[in-house]
Structure formats: structure tokens, C-alpha cells
Amino acid sequence: QQQVKQSPQSLIVQKGGISIINCAYENTAFDYFPWYQQFPGKGPALLIAIRPDVSEKKEGRFTISFNKSAKQFSLHIMDSQPGDSATYFCAALGGRRALTFGSGTRLQVQP
């Protein structure tokens, strides 16, 4: 019930392309869904987050799409840049205050 499933495990995108990472959850008590970006040797940094009362949230080149009925959400990175190369984690929170993380996606944007 606490698991968040993330795919793909790794992703290679050309500069300027769209990166898409998907997550799915089972626990309907989750009501906050953040995405974190992590560079090697650094802690995760909040990128963007969404609540289930909206279906989409956009901040600059980053968009979260949320499908409550399917219990799925995804991160879209538009105009991907080499500087976006990092590991991305989806997460979920609700009830218990601890974040439940997906397994991570290593994104590589080729110049």
C-alpha cells in the first residue's frame, strides 16, 4: 500500500527533447506528490509538487500531470538540457508524514 512505482529506470534524451518519467501509487491516502532532482553527491532537491485536486501543474520547463482515477502521475521536462542530467525521484505523502519514494530515474540529456 505504501509503494510508489517509478519508470523508466534510466532515460536518454537528446538536447531539446521531452523527458517523461512516470509514477504510480496504490495508497489513496496519499495527497501530496513531489518530484525531487538529485545530482551526484548532493541531497534531493524539490523540483515541483502537486496535490490531487488539480490535473496539471507547470513551472517553467517542468510539468506534472496527475491522473487521480488511474493513481498515476508523471513529470515532463520540456526542452531538456544537458544540465538536467540527474536522478529524478517521485514521492508521495499522506497520513504518515514520511515521504514514500519511487526507485528513481537516471536521466541523461545528450548535447
Partner 1 sequence: GAGVSQSPSNKVTEKGKDVELRCDPISGHTALYWYRQSLGQGLEFLIYFQGNSAPDKSGLPSDRFSAERTGGSVSTLTIQRTQQEDSAVYLCASSPLLSRGASTDTQYFGPGTRLTVL
Site string for partner 1, 29-68 (x = CB under 8 A): --xx-x-x----xxxxxx--x-x-----------------
Phi/psi of residue 5, nearest 5 degrees: -100, 130
Cβ proximity of 84 and 48 under 8 Å: no
Is 9 a residue that touches partner 1 (CB under 8 A)?
no
Beta bridge mates, 75: 21, 64
Between 104 and 107, CB nearer to partner 1? 104
Using the structure block, give the residue that is written with the C-alpha cell 502521475: 73
Between 24 and 99, CB nearer to partner 1? 99
| CA gap 52, 60 in Å, rounded | 20
Between 8 and 95, CB nearer to partner 1? 95
| CA gap 78, 17 in Å, rounded | 7
- Size of the residue set binding partner 1 (CB under 8 A): 26
Site string for partner 1, 90-109 (x = CB under 8 A): -x-xxxxxxxxxxxx-----
Shortest distance (Å) from residue 1 CB to partner 1: 14
Supply 67's cell numbers: 491522473
Between 20 and 93, CB nearer to partner 1? 93
For residue 82, give the 3-state DSSP assignment. Answer: helix
